Amino acid sequence: MSEHNYPSLKDIRSAHERIKHMIHKTPILTCSTIDRMAGCQVYFKCENFQKVGAFKARGAANAVLKLSAKNREKGVATHSSGNHAAALARAAAEAGIPAYIVMPSTAPEIKKNAVLEYGGIITLCAPTLASRESTLAEVVVRTGATFVPPFDDFNVIEGQATCALEMWDEKDDFDAIIAPVGGGGLLAGTSLTTHYMGPHASVYGGEPEGADDAYRSFTAKTRLPVLTPNSIADGLLTSLGKLNFEIIQDYVAGILTVSDSEIIAAMRLIYERMKIIVEPSCAVPLAALLKYPDQFQGKQVGIILSGGNVDLSKLPF
Amino acid sequence: MSEHNYPSLKDIRSAHERIKHMIHKTPILTCSTIDRMAGCQVYFKCENFQKVGAFKARGAANAVLKLSAKNREKGVATHSSGNHAAALARAAAEAGIPAYIVMPSTAPEIKKNAVLEYGGIITLCAPTLASRESTLAEVVVRTGATFVPPFDDFNVIEGQATCALEMWDEKDDFDAIIAPVGGGGLLAGTSLTTHYMGPHASVYGGEPEGADDAYRSFTAKTRLPVLTPNSIADGLLTSLGKLNFEIIQDYVAGILTVSDSEIIAAMRLIYERMKIIVEPSCAVPLAALLKYPDQFQGKQVGIILSGGNVDLSKLPF
Closest Cβ–Cβ partner in A27, A276, A317 for B312: A317
B277:A276 CB<8 A: yes
Provide the pLDDT confidence category of residue A55 given band limits of 50, 70 and 90: very high
pLDDT of residue B76: 98
More confident site: B316 or B203:
B203
CA of B7 vs chain A CAs: smallest distance (Å)? 31
Averaged pLDDT score across all residues of chain B: 95
A278:B278 CB<8 A: no
Nearest to A270 by CA among A258, A261, A251, A283: A283
Q: Average pLDDT of B263-276?
A: 97
- Residue A96 in contact with partner chain B when CB distance is under 8 A: no
Measured between CA atoms, the residue of chain B closest to residue A271 is B277
Measured between CA atoms, the residue of chain B closest to residue A278 is B275
pLDDT of residue B1: 46
Contacts of residue A271 in chain B, CB cutoff 8 Å? Answer: 277, 312
Do the domains B3-54+153-314 and B57-147 sit in the same CATH topology, yes or no?
yes
Give Rg (Cα) of chain B: 18
In the structure, how many helices (H) and strands (E) does chain A have?
13, 10
Contacts of residue B274 in chain A, CB cutoff 8 Å? Answer: 49
Residues 65 to 84 of B: which have CB under 8 A from any A CB? none
Contacts of residue B315 in chain A, CB cutoff 8 Å? Answer: 312, 315
DSSP assignment of A262-295: HHHHHHHHIIIII-B---GGGGHHHHHHHHS-GG
CA B317 to chain centre: 24
Inform me whether the pLDDT recorded for A50 exceeds 80: yes
For the A3-54+153-314 domain, the top CATH level (class) is: alpha beta
Instruction: Decide: B267 and B278 in contact? Cβ < 8 Å.
Output: yes
Contacts of residue A275 in chain B, CB cutoff 8 Å? Answer: 48-49, 53, 276-278, 308
pLDDT of residue A4: 62
CA of B29 vs chain A CAs: smallest distance (Å)? 10
DSSP assignment of B10-31: HHHHHHHHHHTTTS----EE--
What is the distance between the alpha carbons of residues B208 and B198, in angstroms, rounded to a whole number? 27
Q: Kindly give, in sequence order, each residue whose CB lies less than 8 Å from that of residue B211, ignoring residues fewer than 6 positions away.
A: B182, B226, B229, B230, B231, B233, B236, B237, B238
Mutate to test the interface with A, among B35, B275, B310, B314 (most CBs of A within 10 A): B275
pLDDT of residue B151: 96
Provide the pLDDT confidence category of residue A106 given band limits of 50, 70 and 90: confident
The pairing of beta strand B300-305 with beta strand B41-46: parallel
ipTM at complex level = 0.89
Contacts of residue B277 in chain A, CB cutoff 8 Å? Answer: 271, 275-277
Q: Average pLDDT of B64-90?
A: 94
Nearest to A58 by CA among A134, A158, A153: A158
CA of A113 vs chain B CAs: smallest distance (Å)? 14
Measured between CA atoms, the residue of chain B closest to residue A47 is B275
What is the distance between the alpha carbons of residues A6 and A9, in angstroms, rounded to a whole number? 9
CA of B48 vs chain A CAs: smallest distance (Å)? 7
More confident site: B313 or A158:
A158
B315:A315 CB<8 A: yes
Q: How many Cα neighbours within 13 Å face the side chain of A121?
A: 14
- Residue A163 in contact with partner chain B when CB distance is under 8 A: no
Q: Average pLDDT of B58-75?
A: 97
Measure Cα distances from B9 to B61, B122, B177, B196 in Å.
18, 35, 18, 6
> Which range (A61-65, A151-155, B233-237) has the least confidence?
B233-237
Closest Cβ–Cβ partner in B272, B276, B315 for A276: B276
Three-state DSSP state, B255: strand
Inform me whether the pLDDT recorded for A58 exceeds 60: yes
Q: Kindly give, in sequence order, each residue whose CB lies less than 8 Å from that of residue B135, ignoring residues fewer than 6 positions away.
A: B79, B102, B123, B125
Terminal C-alpha separation, chain B: 44
Residues 12 to 31 of A: which have CB under 8 A from any B CB? 27, 29
Q: Average pLDDT of A246-267?
A: 98
> Which range (A69-73, A215-219, A224-228, A255-259) has the least confidence?
A224-228
Q: What is the pLDDT of residues B139-165, one digit of tens each?
A: 999 999 999 999 999 999 999 999 999
A278:B274 CB<8 A: no
pLDDT of residue A129: 83
pLDDT of residue B127: 87
The angle formed by the CA atoms of residues B143, B147 and B149, to the nearest 5 degrees, is 155
What is the distance between the alpha carbons of residues A164 and A13, in angstroms, rounded to a whole number? 11
The angle formed by the CA atoms of residues B54, A284 and A8, to the nearest 5 degrees, is 105
Counting residues of chain B whose pLDDT is more than 90, the rounded percentage is 89
Amino acid sitting at position B265: A
Q: What is the pLDDT of residues B101-132, one digit of tens each?
A: 999 888 888 889 989 999 999 999 998 889 99
Domain range summary for chain B, segments of one domain joined by +:
3-54+153-314, 57-147
A312:B317 CB<8 A: yes
Inform me whether the pLDDT recorded for A3 exceeds 60: no
Exposed, middle or buried: residue A158 (CB in 10 Å: 0-12, 13-18, 19+)?
buried
Please give the CATH topology (third level) of the domain spanning B57-147.
Rossmann fold (3.40.50)
The pairing of beta strand A121-125 with beta strand A99-104: parallel
A312:B315 CB<8 A: yes
Closest Cβ–Cβ partner in B27, B49, B271 for A277: B271
Contacts of residue A44 in chain B, CB cutoff 8 Å? Answer: none
CA of B75 vs chain A CAs: smallest distance (Å)? 25
Q: Which residues on adjacent β-strands are paired with residue B301?
A: B42, B176
Contacts of residue B313 in chain A, CB cutoff 8 Å? Answer: 317
B276:A275 CB<8 A: yes
pLDDT of residue B274: 96
Nearest to B247 by CA among B184, B303, B202, B301: B184
A313:B313 CB<8 A: no
What is the distance between the alpha carbons of residues A302 and B295, in angstroms, rounded to a whole number? 44
Contacts of residue B49 in chain A, CB cutoff 8 Å? Answer: 29, 274-275
Contacts of residue B278 in chain A, CB cutoff 8 Å? Answer: 275
- Residue B277 in contact with partner chain A when CB distance is under 8 A: yes
Nearest to B160 by CA among B79, B95, B63, B236: B63
Closest Cβ–Cβ partner in A272, A274, A308 for B312: A272
Provide the pLDDT confidence category of residue A311 given band limits of 50, 70 and 90: confident
- Residue B53 in contact with partner chain A when CB distance is under 8 A: yes
Q: Average pLDDT of B52-57?
A: 96
Measured between CA atoms, the residue of chain B closest to residue A310 is B272
pLDDT of residue A1: 46
State whether the Cα torsion A232-A237-A243-A245 is positive or negative: positive
